[in-house]
Structure 1
Amino acid sequence: MIVAITGAARGIGLATARAFLDRGAQVVIGDVDAEAVARAAAETGARGVHLDVTDPASFAAFLTEAGEYDVLVNNAGIMPIGPVLGESDADARRCVDVNLHGVMTGTRLALARFLPRGRGHVVNVASVAGVLPTPGLALYNGTKAGVVAFTEAVRLEVAGRGVHVGAVLPTFTNTELVAGTRSPRGQRNIEPGEVAAAVVGMVARPTPKVVVPKRLGRQIAFGALLPRRVQRALNARLGLDSIFLDFDADARKSYDARIRG
């Protein structure tokens, strides 16, 4: 099995590459950070390729390099945070281009290969942010909600044709994306390896959507049934009303510079 993974020089993408390699798969990793993806490839034994998911030509070249790949994991993503009025037009465009349009591009390119042969897997790494709007996270919320909806629509469109499309929705994960933020009260951040295990599991046993951790999925479903005033009170109790508005900007400087690079 050959697996192609975007945004895989670090974090969830790199953990997913390791997980597939441990299971004997051939893995091709792509990332816009050419030096970082080369280091990751050298460390893991994966094949590293420079990839800009906002450029369809770059994405097509990446998949051509992957050869007869069986799985595409659309993982590349960025997370600007803070008040919506503090976000620039460039921030908004970049977030949409990477998080949403990149997933759309990769999915279309993969389906063009998978559908004629009647097999293949597309796994799109979304986020619980796609189903839980949160103050200070509007750009990320909007793009990840788009990924969730896009993935489900495509899944329904190709159902019964041998190609599986699904979304993995992680909660707060210990990567650079959450630098300078705190966890919701009473909850722990998960590790990239937990998300990687969910991605591998989705390929082994296809399912439309998986929340990581699973128990959070049940909590989200239950919470959606509560009156809005109760939801607001619960969010305030967990600190979700301020986590992405009251954060350590200095701790995010390196990450913010990189994603706006």
Structure 2
Amino acid sequence: MAKQPRNLAGKVVAITGGARGIGRATAAALARKGAKVAIGDLDRELAERTAQELGGGVVALGLDVTDRGSFAAFLEQVEARLGPLDVLVNNAGIMHVGPFVQESEEVATRQVDINLHGVITGSKLALERFLPRRAGHLVNVASTAGKAGVPGGATYSATKHAVVGLTEAIRAEVRGSGVETSIVMPVPVNTQLAAGLQKGRGIGLVEPREVAEAIVGALERPRQDVFVPRAIGRTVRLGALMPRPVYEAVGRLMRTDRVLAGADASARAAYERQAVRGSAQLPAAPEEIATPGAGERTEAVPSREAAGD
């Protein structure tokens, strides 16, 4: 007999990069389940608008995941406002596309700082809360690029491989403690991060709501590996059993080697400029807001750290 899904009503959930994309969709899905949700984002103004639109008491806070002090303050404010943290979704991430040898040191460092160091920092800060309570769920958003290196996104792939390895190691360390972990590994998601990407044969974009639904499902029925779509997990596992020349030939046949390497640079220009090369400063004392209300609608304002993957 299948276990009943866990009730998420009243659970305190913090989501990084929550102003749009996967983060926003996840906040909306969890709020509908009755969870108490806080979204953190470098673009605090957009986070506030998102909270207003989602309603359900969603709390918006400024957050720079590359700054440990900012991350610590974010979680402290979440707990002060909503109560002890039950779930952290490390979603914030960026992606640069282009030949590896042409990638600047600045762009490479920024991806590592946000995609990896941000997840490391958030994971530690969450576990410091979860372990003494013998409860909590750490959700780290990686990518299918965390299972196979993708041409045209070498540094991005490296950060996502690292997030997969990090979360697997954490899982082994906290086994038996009551703390749970999940790694979310979607194919490209229809957010600004995926602007201008090519489609592989038989593999299209998934929508942010699909990733959000998978995250909610992993919280209700905990599991470690969360592929989106779920069927891609079978493809990844099958590929791991193939000899490398066969695996690479299949990738070329499916044109997965062109998804990033063949990206339209002009279509990605705005995203790359703002998310990858841009910067933003948080106010000295970010204020949280909790807003009731309006239904969800799509925003056109770009967020520097909210796309997720």
TM-score, normalising length from structure 1? 0.98
Deviations 1:168-189 (A, max 9, x none): 1111111111101121112221
State the match for 2:47 in structure 1.
37
CA distance in 1, matches of 2:78, 2:43: 18
User: Does the CA-based 8 Å contact 2:200-2:258 persist in structure 1?
Assistant: no
Q: Does 1:64 align with 2:76?
A: yes
Give 1:246 shift.
2.1
1:86-165 equivalent positions in 2, closer than 5 A: 86-165=102-181
State the match for 1:75 in structure 2.
91
CA distance in 1, matches of 2:92, 2:146: 15
State the match for 1:55 in structure 2.
67
Moved over 3 A (4+): none
CA distance in 2, matches of 1:242, 1:204: 36
Matching residue within 198, 220, 232 for 1:204:
220
* 1:241 counterpart SS class: helix
User: Does the CA-based 8 Å contact 1:172-1:183 persist in structure 2?
Assistant: no
Q: Which moved more, 1:222-231 or 1:97-106?
A: 222-231
CA distance in 2, matches of 1:75, 1:201: 16
Which protein is richer in helix relative to its size? 1
Q: Does 1:85 align with 2:95?
A: no
CA distance in 2, matches of 1:235, 1:199: 27
User: Does the CA-based 8 Å contact 1:122-1:164 persist in structure 2?
Assistant: yes
Percent identity, aligned pairs only, is 52
Q: Does 1:252 align with 2:262?
A: no
CA distance in 1, matches of 2:216, 2:17: 16
Q: Given residue 204 of structure 1, which amino acid in structure 2 is its aligned partner?
A: E
Matching residue within 238, 245, 257 for 1:222:
238
* 2:176 counterpart SS class: coil
* 1:190 counterpart SS class: coil
Q: Given residue 40 of structure 1, which amino acid in structure 2 is its aligned partner?
A: T
State the match for 2:184 in structure 1.
168
State the match for 1:24 in structure 2.
34
* 1:47 counterpart SS class: strand
Q: Given residue 141 of structure 1, which amino acid in structure 2 is its aligned partner?
A: S
CA distance in 1, matches of 2:14, 2:223: 19
Q: Given residue 173 of structure 1, which amino acid in structure 2 is its aligned partner?
A: V
CA RMSD of aligned residues (A): 1.0
Q: Which has the higher contact order (CA 8 A, sep 6+)?
A: 2
State the match for 2:250 in structure 1.
234
Give 1:132 shift.
1.3
Deviations 1:220-247 (A, max 9, x none): 1111211222222211111122232222
Task: Give the number of equivalent residue pairs.
Answer: 261
Give 1:164 shift.
0.7
CA distance in 2, matches of 1:36, 1:22: 21
* Unaligned stretches of 5+ residues in structure 2: 1-10, 279-309
CA distance in 2, matches of 1:128, 1:106: 21
User: Does the CA-based 8 Å contact 1:56-1:105 persist in structure 2?
Assistant: yes
Deviations 1:88-140 (A, max 9, x none): 11111111110011001001001111111111111001110000111111011
User: Does the CA-based 8 Å contact 2:48-2:60 persist in structure 1?
Assistant: yes
User: Does the CA-based 8 Å contact 2:198-2:262 persist in structure 1?
Assistant: no
* 2:95 counterpart SS class: coil
CA distance in 2, matches of 1:225, 1:116: 40
* Unaligned stretches of 5+ residues in structure 1: none
CA distance in 1, matches of 2:131, 2:77: 19
User: Does the CA-based 8 Å contact 1:126-1:147 persist in structure 2?
Assistant: yes
CA distance in 2, matches of 1:152, 1:208: 8
User: Does the CA-based 8 Å contact 1:78-1:98 persist in structure 2?
Assistant: yes
